[in-house]
Amino acid sequence: MDQKDKVLEAVSLIHERIKHQPRVAVVLGSGLGAFADSVQEAIEIPYREIPGWPASTAPGHAGKLVSGLFGNTPVLVMQGRLHYYEGYSLSEVVFPVRVFGEMGIPFYFATNASGGISHSLAPGDLVLIYDHINFQGHNPLRGPNEGSWGPRFPDMTFAYDRELMDLTEVSASSLNMQIRRGVYAAFTGPSFETPAEIRMLRLMGADVVGMSTVPEVITARQMGMRVCAISCVANYAAGMYEKPLSHVEVLQEMEKASGKLVNLLQSVILKLGEKMQ
Ligand code: HPA
């Protein structure tokens, strides 16, 4: 079975189970699962029940889809994402994005935890990603191009939707929350970066670093989805502090900061819902 058939099989199972055609797909990063609790009329679908859908193995990632309403907006939330470091191929990592694209979902919201590279960022800060650097050494679109999914050479100049960025900033200021724009660099992990790699990334103009999001965004853009990505700084990047990095610390910091990101996401989706009326 080719990838497109697998995706269509997953789409038909999801359509059989859910009640509302989603308008917004939301991917929750490490420690950010709480957003899914505020979805009304929630229907949960564990990843293992969806044909072709890879299991989520990373700590802090629940491994289920939650469909329902947020305000008046039908949403489909991925509680737990897939990462390249788990051993999946990039086409497996972006399988959910293919499914969302085939379902005709127009908006893709990504969240993640990151290491802060910029000297003006501290743990707990929110960053609105306006561009990225792909340091994973691979591209999810490599291989034969499925023409119905989009162009062979998609544009990345406008990968992050300007209107959604504005909406996010307006929402943040109405909540009295600080958010600044930044460039996200993706490494594969699972080891954290070295201090030398962080110095290199800073020289190259990256503000935050993480192990996800970029393959999803490339795929979502190829399929014409409009993308918004918000990062929460979980730690100072390697070498900025005389102390080793640990995933436990990332999750602890995200536990403290996740309320803020979840509130912001809720406000943005409500505002987007009003605009779509
Ligand atoms: N590096 C990479 N990924 C991360 C980090 C980091 O410092 N913090 C949270 N995710």
Q: Is 174 a catalytic residue?
A: no
Averaged pLDDT for residues 197-222: 97
Which residue has its alpha carbon closest to ligand 1 atom 3?
A: 210
Residue 59 — very low, low, confident or very high, per pLDDT cuts 50/70/90? low
Residue 188 pLDDT exceeds 70: yes
Q: What is the pLDDT of residues 229-267, one digit of tens each?
A: 999 999 999 999 878 888 888 888 888 888 899 899 999
Q: Which of 250, 256, 258 to mutate to test the pocket of ligand 1 (most atoms within 8 A of CB)?
A: 250
Q: Considering the entire predicted model, what is its pTM?
A: 0.94
pLDDT digits (tens, 9 = 90+) for 68-122: 998 889 999 999 889 999 999 999 999 999 999 999 999 999 999 999 999 999 9
How many angstroms is it from 186 CA to the middle of ligand 1?
A: 9
* Catalytically annotated residue among 10, 30, 160, 258: 30
Active site residue 86: yes
* Domains of the chain: residue spans and CATH: 3-141+157-272 (3.40.50.1580)
As a whole number of angstroms, the distance between CA 180 and CA 78 comes to: 25
CA distances from 182 to 179, 233, 244, 252 (A): 9, 11, 24, 23
CA of 209 to the centre of ligand 1 (A): 6
The residue to mutate among 245, 255, 258, 261, having the most atoms of ligand 1 within 8 angstroms of its beta carbon, is: 245
225 is catalytic: no
In the reported structure, the alpha carbon of residue 88 is separated from the centroid of ligand 1 by a whole-number distance in angstroms of 19
- Averaged over 218-234, what is the pLDDT? 97
CA 183 to chain centre: 14
- As a whole number of angstroms, the distance between CA 108 and CA 93 comes to 15
% of the chain with per-residue pLDDT over 90: 77
Instruction: Write the residue with the smallest CA distance to atom 9 of ligand 1.
Output: 114
- Contacts (Cβ under 8 Å, ≥6 apart) of 160: 129, 130, 131, 217, 227, 228, 229
Highest mean pLDDT among 50-59, 222-231, 258-267: 222-231
The pLDDT confidence band at residue 60, using thresholds 50, 70 and 90, is low
pLDDT (0 to 100) of residue 212:
96
- 60 Cβ below 6 A of ligand 1: no
Catalytic position from the list 10, 83, 165, 220: 83
Residue 234 Cβ < 6 Å to ligand 1: yes
**HEC per residue, 9-51:** HHHHHHHHHCCCCCCEEEEECCCCHHHHHHCEEEEEEEHHHCC
Give the tokens for residue 197. Answer: 């790699």
